[in-house]
Amino acid sequence: MQYGLLLPHFGEYASPQLLLRATARAEELGFGSLWVRDHLVWHPHGFEGQDRTFIDPFVALSAAAAVTTRIKLGTAVVIPTRWPLKLAQDFASLSWLAGDRVIAGIGLGFDPEEFAANGFDQQDREQIFIETVEICRLVWQESAASYQGKRFSFDDITIEPKPVSPIPFEYGGSTPAGLRRAVRYTEGWQAARLPLRTLDKRLAMRQKLDKELGKTTKVSVQPLVTIARRYEDAAARVPIAEMGTSSESAKWWDFPPSGRFETIADLEGLNVCGTPDDVVQELEKFTTRAVDEVIIDLRLQFDDFEGALELLGTEVLPRVSSRAAAGAPQT
């Protein structure tokens, strides 16, 4: 089990100083990876406030690369609204700077306005995604490359420098169709936030799909985490009802018996909440499943990001890491 961290590169609390301090401290504390989101046209969820500051993911990861040496750097996830050759260059350039630490998380996106602003049609998004992955892999390996697809084509193109090592793709999307894309086209599945009862169904499906294709797909989850010395302080940050509708894939979730999310317990898997002891117990629910990485998302307390990071790094991470190293049984 690895533990990653979503960086505070968006919203009202984003700043160069916080980004650099938090990045360096996360590596010191033993986190295994750092992650960023991707938007050009960003409409914050209600719990994210109203500030539309959003720092480009490759700028944020380049800054992170400059102040770290070991930690992995990934996108969770880029939206296929960049021209594929430009995206290939962005990832290859990050690899030139960061070495073999780069992970290319990619999804489909959903906002028609965002696709239109980038010169794309949202209805083409699946084909754009497929061809983007194919083109990146092609030009990362070959020079004078040519490609003829339904959406993109080019002849005799060379992108230099090449990545210093193969960059794995991971697909972000928690629907059944998203999981199928992850297994078919990429090396990893980023489930983002997902109720635990739904995650269990997806993990069984992933095992079946992997067996059919003869592969092992990495699994990452990204719960929203709130942590404090007192449970009440952590719980006060959780907008329970909004958590149950905040994802575009919520219609594919298994809901509580009441049909709606009414308590923090109903958010099991979506949200990890409480004291360091509580957070350890909740994270261990992923340890006992076929999950390879938990990406901790602190956006509900970006106003106290460094305080939360210290609690996680000093009182949670050592305990869950030792449990994972001991080889907890997987279900």
Is 75:106 a contact under the CB 8 Å cutoff?
Answer: yes
| pTM to 2 decimal places | 0.95
Please write the tens of the pLDDT for every residue from 26-83.
999 999 999 999 999 999 988 899 999 999 999 999 999 999 999 999 999 999 999 9
Render the burial of 301-330: b for 16+ CB within 10 Å, e for the rest. Answer: bbebbeebbebbbebbbebbbebbeeeeee
Please write the tens of the pLDDT for every residue from 89-130.
999 999 999 999 999 999 999 899 999 999 999 999 999 999
CA distance 239 to 87: 35
Spell out the alpha helix ranges (H) of the chain: 16-29, 57-66, 84-98, 112-117, 125-141, 176-185, 196-213, 231-235, 240-243, 276-287, 305-311, 317-325
**What average pLDDT does range 173-192 have in this prediction?**
96
> What residue ranges define each of the domains in the chain, with the CATH number in brackets?
2-325 (3.20.20.30)
Is 153:89 a contact under the CB 8 Å cutoff?
Answer: no
Neighbour count for residue 166 (Cβ, 10 Å): 14
**What average pLDDT does range 187-203 have in this prediction?**
95
Give the β-pairing of 102-106 and 72-75. Answer: parallel
3-state secondary structure (DSSP) of residue 162:
coil
